[in-house]
Amino acid sequence: MASKQQIKNLKFIFEPKSIALVGASPTPNKVSNVIFKSLTEGNFQGEFYPVNPKYQEITGIKCYPSISSIKKKIDCLMIATPAQTVPMILQECARLKIKGVVLVTAGFSEAGEEGTKLERQIKEICDENEIALIGPNCLGTLNPSTGADSIFLPMHKLERPKPGNIAFITQSGAVGSTIIDVAAYHGIGISKFISYGNATVLDEVDLLEYLEKDNKTKTIVVYIEGARRGREFFEAMKRINKKKPIIALKAGKFSRSAAAAKSHTGNIAGSYLAYNAAFRQAKVIEAEGLEDLFDFMKIFSQPLAKGKRVGIITNGGGMGVLTADAVDQMGLEFAEFSAEAKVKLKTILPSFGNVANPLDLIAEADGEKYEKGIEIMMDDPAIDALFIITLFQTPPMDERVLNVLIKASDDHRKPIACIMLGGAYTTNYQRYLDKYKVPSYNSPIAAVKAMKKFIEYSRFREPKR
């Protein structure tokens, strides 16, 4: 358990004015070289000090023999040296009053008894000197807003996301790298990314408490294999989830995967039934897999739902039927359009059209028809949420519909979820919508499942409105 001051000192990791990298190297593809390039070629605007006694400079940047030789204030220290060197470096860090450290090095408790002893030394030094340390055995951290980037995967292989309001906490670097790579591809912005590995000094409870007070974080996504402080973890989730939605993915649900988690981060995965019960009691949104994780977090850009009565609008009858099936399957309710809405909807349908839910605008519908239909549904107090199905394969459908969908999302009167299936043409439009925080899905069941989770959370948050 970290102290309150250690948690506060995380600001030096995420918002540093200066960073020193111990173990900096000019050798391509080394972990320390990747971090060096991320800081020099990325958008970090602060002072950067490479540290390695082997070099006087690296690619034209002065290299220091030790951190004590820098003679300037260091906010954040990044360490990429062998495990046995770390205690000595941290002792020097303590003397210089450096309060933020990211330790990506492996070879600690996950590697056996000797590594466990080193880990105890690290914790003792950090606790005595109120140092906030992330790691060891982690992928690193990222704040896109400040360019503070300790992720040791190259930027040309792993694109960094733009600034946003979603924070990611992950015990696994591999899972974390997948998450931020996909987030960047889809234009999803993040506030903080934290791969915390063995959690020697700061664990998931401490990180949740930090993000609870982080003004730039609105939604928290957690990938967890096992928590050492189960009760505190539950209490933190229960408290924070009332203010900021928490989406969680628990790995190590079964015996073999739990054993794999133990060897991976040195953390016991624990009983999945206990975690599942804790998530339900804390009203945390639990994802069953990575696809759920991305599907759920998209919908949280929307305004809270006032109920579970949904309206469906489509330009293809079959897709409307499939979405209706998913609505029934997920236990949501079909809205009964108000008399006023029915009259208005009739005016935008062809003579043979039928005012019903799902509302089928037929294949001849264009952006103008969608705009009118969506506006009528937004005005109808009998509807709490909207599913908007757009089949871009029909001739009238083109990029003009995108502006209609963005406008509907920005309206913020009711939550919407867009459903669109197709190949490259449709996928390009989906990526465009992602950049504008319009939740879009490749299948009815994915959209309805996400909306159901969101409506359940909205009911939980309702007293806070």
What is the per-residue pLDDT for 270?
59
What is the per-residue pLDDT for 260?
47
Per DSSP, the three-state class of 148 is: strand
Which two three-digit tokens encode residue 378?
A: 């937004």
What is the per-residue pLDDT for 383?
98
What is the per-residue pLDDT for 463?
54
Same fold, 4-299 and 309-464: yes
In angstroms, the CA 83 to CA 372 distance is 63
Mean per-residue pLDDT over the chain, rounded: 93
Checking if the pLDDT of 4 tops 80, the result is yes
What is the per-residue pLDDT for 267?
46
Q: Which residues of 243-254 are buried (b: 16+ CB within 10 A; e: fewer)?
A: ebbbbbbbbbee
Arithmetic mean of pLDDT, 164-180: 94
Q: Which fold has domain 4-299?
A: Rossmann fold (3.40.50)
What is the per-residue pLDDT for 256?
47
Could you give the percent of the chain with pLDDT greater than 70? Answer: 95
Which two three-digit tokens encode residue 230?
A: 């189960």
Residue 178, C-beta contacts closer than 8 angstroms, at least 6 positions apart: 290
Report domain extents, the chain.
4-299, 309-464
Location of structure tokens 């002893």: 117
For residue range 188-227, what is the model confidence (pLDDT) as tens digits?
Answer: 999 999 999 999 999 999 999 999 999 999 999 999 998 9
Question: Is pLDDT larger for residue 279 or for residue 257?
Answer: 279
> CA–CA distance from 441 to each of 11, 81, 173, 295, 329 (Å)?
36, 43, 26, 7, 17
For residue range 49-78, what is the model confidence (pLDDT) as tens digits?
Answer: 999 999 999 999 999 999 999 999 999 999
Which two three-digit tokens encode residue 11?
A: 């600001």
Q: Which of 31-45, 99-113, 334-348 has the lowest mean pLDDT?
A: 99-113
Could you give the percent of the chain with pLDDT greater than 90? Answer: 87
For residue range 239-277, what is the model confidence (pLDDT) as tens digits?
Answer: 999 999 999 999 877 654 444 444 444 444 457 888 999
Q: Which of 267-271, 292-296, 340-344, 365-369 has the lowest mean pLDDT?
A: 267-271
Task: Give domain 309-464's CATH architecture.
Answer: 3-Layer(aba) Sandwich (3.40)
171: phi then psi, degrees, rounded to nearest 5: -80, -25
Contact 289, 250 (CB under 8 A): no
What is the per-residue pLDDT for 262?
43
In angstroms, the CA 381 to CA 364 distance is 28
